[in-house]
């Protein structure tokens, strides 16, 4: 197992933060905080609770323009193409309930506003690498998944977490494509879910998360291909059964359960060695674990017999 000793990038924060976010950055620096962000005033206008930027995870690349992130999407419930943003905006975002169930001590049903109020919000600038070889860098607002785990208390017998997307036929035309195994279901091991990088996303660019990006709530594990990041979640289930996930069910020879980013393991139909940045179109080398090996490589040291990379 290849374990990265240091981050494979080395850009100072000043080269990462775009002009539009520098104001918030200066403000936080002036406060002497170790975390940067847009600050409470801006957050309140947006409907998001105050969230400071956590600088522990420098993305090493320039933040992708918001317009590109919010208009080029994968959300098959709204169509199997990238221009689903207008259709997705028809999906009501309130009221919204997320059930946390299965092998936990305290199953819960959260209204989204309740979750926003009670979870420790922060902003993280994370890279996202789609299995289709495009990539982006986004300032997400949300909370570490482990905070939710601490509330519901998984039983020691729970081994996996399963994430399920809403099924709303009246606004999701893609559901009529009945050959897809709806609902969109994703999952990971408990250890992966408890990793500090695993993040529940409720906002982007200092605003509530737009429906096309998975509003009001989606998951994100930045070291895995983007298809692992279930959008518009309604159920989070703790179980001892490994789920067969959406793409795995559809094309098991191309997509698996683990889906960790690896430049050396190619998709059967294209290379994974390079990635194209949304917005600039720049081509860059793909990084092992999408550059997050320092945080996650240890999760896989005893799993050499698993198909970890597709």
Binding residue (CB under 6 A) for ligand MTE from 203, 226, 243, 291: 226
- By CB under 6 A, tell whether 230 contacts ligand MTE: yes
**CB under 6 A: which stretch of 34-42, 47-55, 75-83, 260-268 binds ligand MTE?**
75-83
Query: What is the smallest separation between the CB atom of 278 and ligand MTE, expressed in angstroms?
Result: 8
State the residue number with the nearest CB to ligand MTE: 226
Q: Report the residue number, 5 or 179, with the smaller CB distance to ligand MTE.
A: 179
**CB under 6 A: which stretch of 87-95, 150-158, 226-234, 250-258 binds ligand MTE?**
226-234
Query: What is the smallest separation between the CB atom of 76 and ligand MTE, expressed in angstroms?
Result: 4
**CB under 6 A: which stretch of 60-68, 73-81, 108-116, 301-309 binds ligand MTE?**
73-81
- By CB under 6 A, tell whether 76 contacts ligand MTE: yes
DSSP code per residue over the chain: ----SS-S----HHHHS-HHHHHHHHHHHHTT-SSB-S-HHHHHHHTSPP-EEPTTS--SSPPPPHHHHHHS---GGG-SSS--HHHHTTS--SS-EEEEEESBSS-EEEEHHHHHHHS--EEEEEEEE-TTSEEEEEEEEEEEHHHHHHHH-B-TT--EEEEEE---TTT-GGGG-TTS-SSPEEEEEHHHHHSTT-EEEEEETTEEPPGGGTTT-EEE-TTBBGGGS--SEEEEEEESS----HHHHH-TTT--S--B--TTS-BTTB--SEEEETTT--EEE--GGGGTHHHHGGGGTT-TTS-TT-
- By CB under 6 A, tell whether 75 contacts ligand MTE: yes
- By CB under 6 A, tell whether 245 contacts ligand MTE: no
Interaction residues for ligand MTE, span 127-166 (CB under 6 A): 130, 165
- By CB under 6 A, tell whether 73 contacts ligand MTE: yes
- By CB under 6 A, tell whether 211 contacts ligand MTE: no
Q: Contact positions toward ligand MTE, by CB under 6 A?
A: 73-77, 130, 165, 184, 213-214, 226-227, 229-231
């Amino acid at each position: 197992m290849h374990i990265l000793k240091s981050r494979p990038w080395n850009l100072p924060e000043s080269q990462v933060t775009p002009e539009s976010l520098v104001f918030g950055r200066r403000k936080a620096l002036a406060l002497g905080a170790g975390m940067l962000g847009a600050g409470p005033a801006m957050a309140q206008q947006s409907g998001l609770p105050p969230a400071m930027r956590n600088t522990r995870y420098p993305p090493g690349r320039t933040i992708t323009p918001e317009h590109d992130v919010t208009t080029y999407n994968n959300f098959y419930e709204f169509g199997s193409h990238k221009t689903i943003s207008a259709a997705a905006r028809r999906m009501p975002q309130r009221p919204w309930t997320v059930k946390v169930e299965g092998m936990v001590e305290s199953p819960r049903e959260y209204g989204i506003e309740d979750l926003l109020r009670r979870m420790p919000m922060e902003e993280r600038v994370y890279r996202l690498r789609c299995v289709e070889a495009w990539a982006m860098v986004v300032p997400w607002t949300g909370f570490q998944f482990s905070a939710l785990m601490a509330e519901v208390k998984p039983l020691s017998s729970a081994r996996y977490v399963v994430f399920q997307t809403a099924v709303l036929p009246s606004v999701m035309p893609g559901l009529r494509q009945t050959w897809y195994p709806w609902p969109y279901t994703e999952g990971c091991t408990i250890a992966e879910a408890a990793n500090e990088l695993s993040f529940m996303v409720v906002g982007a660019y200092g605003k509530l998360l737009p429906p096309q990006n998975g509003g009001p709530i989606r998951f994100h594990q930045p070291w895995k291909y983007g298809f692992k990041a279930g959008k518009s979640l309604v159920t989070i289930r703790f179980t001892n059964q490994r789920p067969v996930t959406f793409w795995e069910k559809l094309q098991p020879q191309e997509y698996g359960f683990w889906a960790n980013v690896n430049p050396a393991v190619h998709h059967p139909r294209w290379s994974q060695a390079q990635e194209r940045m949304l917005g600039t179109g720049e081509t860059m080398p793909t990084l092992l674990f999408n550059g997050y090996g320092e945080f996650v490589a240890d999760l896989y040291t005893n799993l050499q017999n698993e198909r970890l990379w597709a």
